[in-house]
Amino acid sequence: MKINFRKNVALLLCFMMLTTLLAGCGGSKGNGKASDQDTIKLGFLGAKTGSVANYGLPGEKGMKMAIDEINAQGGVLGKQLEGIYEDNKGESSEIANIATKYITQDKVAAMVGDPCTGLTKVAADIAQKNKVVIFSAGATGAGVVEIGDYVFRNTLLDKFAAPAVVDWMINKQGWKNIAIITSLNNGYSTALTPVFKEAILAKGGKIVLEDSVNDGETDFTAQVTKLKNAKADVLVFTGYYTEAALIMNEVKKKGLDIKLIGGDGLYGQDLAKLGQSAVEEKVILYCGFSSDQPSPETDKFIKAYQAKYNEDPDMFSAQYYDAVMILAKAMEEAQSADPTVFKDKLAQLKDYPGVSGKTTIRPDREPVKSPVCLLTIKNGKFALEDKIPVNI
């Protein structure tokens, strides 16, 4: 009796150990590779709170809309797409933790975002080391896709856009005496300023003032005083919308009649709220998307977005939407949700008719997009100022 009892206990323990081992080898949901999951998971990278939430929140909406549309049509490879939406708060430590979680715990097939170059680089390094695709829907600075062959983006690049804008400033508007203000604690700004400077000098412009601010500052009296004394035709500010609005408030207060030109870092809905009349037709930014004069694809997207969210889409919602659609297209063409397989189809993308413009991925995985849309503020909303071609 005692011997049989011991045998039964031993058998029971062996069974429990075997069950545990099987579970540890991928028997439970969520422990396998991305391509083995019941759904195909995509991880959202963007800020939903903090100083750059104006970029992340529209992006999240665009991503959700694309996933809903794809799932309504049967999903990808017979599976539903599933979005996971963490908030990186615009902080490097947060995006590193989130990217690691997406890869090791959630088993995502790809990550979509971040809109910011510096944050994208942090997540891209983690993605590359783990062989998971990251598709940025906003990073425009240098040194992104160079991280590796799992890193992609679908945005208009500063190195192509800024020279086209400078040519427009000098040769179409006649603004040859140019002031530049850089935000020193903003990686986007410090990377964009040299691109503008090189283009200005190459196209015959003159830099009459170089000055700096820091993100988070609110008093720009000294900078605007120097700007007024410099007698510049136009101001190039390479930072974000918050500081741009506050600078223009001070410009108006000082009675200075000058326009501010910048990149898509100015593309935040709070630009108009913070600057009000000081930014009305006084701030011009470049980007790859405009709701004015839309293509058939863009027009359809705008109407669907307005119906779903009761607001107008912007560049970030459009580019996140396109990024999801492009990822789904690549998976279908590769017949696989394995990033090691479908990344090669991403690299072959050509003339994709997205809602944010036509996109081609070059051999270096950099996107080509044209034209450049110049936007200004009219009646509190972004409006198309001009369209200019990009010569590469």
Please state, in angstroms and rounded to a whole number, the distance separating the CA atoms of residues 19 and 37: 21
In degrees and rounded to multiples of 5, residue 53 shows phi and psi of: -65, -25
Question: Residues 318, 299: contact at Cβ < 8 Å?
Answer: no
pLDDT tens digits, 189-238? 999 999 999 999 999 999 999 999 999 999 999 999 999 999 999 999 99
Here the tokens at position 273 are 């709220």
CATH topology identical between 34-156+293-361 and 159-287+374-388: yes
User: What pLDDT shows up at residue 369?
Assistant: 84
Question: Residues 195, 202: contact at Cβ < 8 Å?
Answer: no
pLDDT tens digits, 120-137? 999 999 999 999 999 999
Domain 159-287+374-388 falls in which CATH fold?
Answer: Rossmann fold (3.40.50)
User: What pLDDT shows up at residue 25?
Assistant: 36
Please state, in angstroms and rounded to a whole number, the distance separating the CA atoms of residues 352 and 359: 5
Q: How many residues does the chain have?
A: 392
Give me the residues paired with residue 237 across strands: 181
User: What pLDDT shows up at residue 2?
Assistant: 36
Q: What percent of the chain shows pLDDT beyond 70?
A: 92
Question: Residues 337, 79: contact at Cβ < 8 Å?
Answer: yes
User: What pLDDT shows up at residue 13?
Assistant: 41
Q: How many C-beta atoms lie closer than 10 Å to residue 334's C-beta?
A: 19
First vs last Cα of the chain: how many Å apart?
87
Phi-psi region of 174 (alpha: psi -120 to 50; beta: other; left: phi over 0): left
Here the tokens at position 370 are 């044209």
Average pLDDT over every residue of 358-363: 91
* Strand 283-287, strand 81-85: pairing: unpaired
For the domain with range 34-156+293-361, which CATH number is right: 1.10.3720.10, 3.40.50.2300, 2.40.50.140, 2.40.180.10? 3.40.50.2300
Residue type, 308: K
Average pLDDT over every residue of 108-117: 96
Average pLDDT value for the chain: 91
Residue 76 has pLDDT above 70, yes or no: yes
| Tokens 């200004």 belong to residue | 376
- pLDDT band, very low/low/confident/very high, at 19 (cuts 50, 70, 90): very low
Q: How many C-beta atoms lie closer than 10 Å to residue 113's C-beta?
A: 34
Please state, in angstroms and rounded to a whole number, the distance separating the CA atoms of residues 295 and 277: 31
Which residues have CB under 8 Å from 383's CB, separation 6+?
Answer: 292, 375, 376, 377
User: What pLDDT shows up at residue 4?
Assistant: 43
15 or 80, which is more confident? 80
Q: Tell me: cis bond preceding 389? Omega within 30 of 0 counts.
A: no
Residue 70 has pLDDT above 50, yes or no: yes
User: What pLDDT shows up at residue 32?
Assistant: 62
H helical segments located in the chain: 2-22, 53-72, 92-101, 117-130, 158-167, 187-202, 221-230, 241-253, 270-275, 296-309, 315-334, 339-346
Which pTM does this prediction carry?
0.81
Please state, in angstroms and rounded to a whole number, the distance separating the CA atoms of residues 179 and 206: 9
Residue 12 has pLDDT above 50, yes or no: no
User: What pLDDT shows up at residue 161?
Assistant: 94
CA gyration radius, the chain: 24
Spans of all domains in the chain: 34-156+293-361, 159-287+374-388
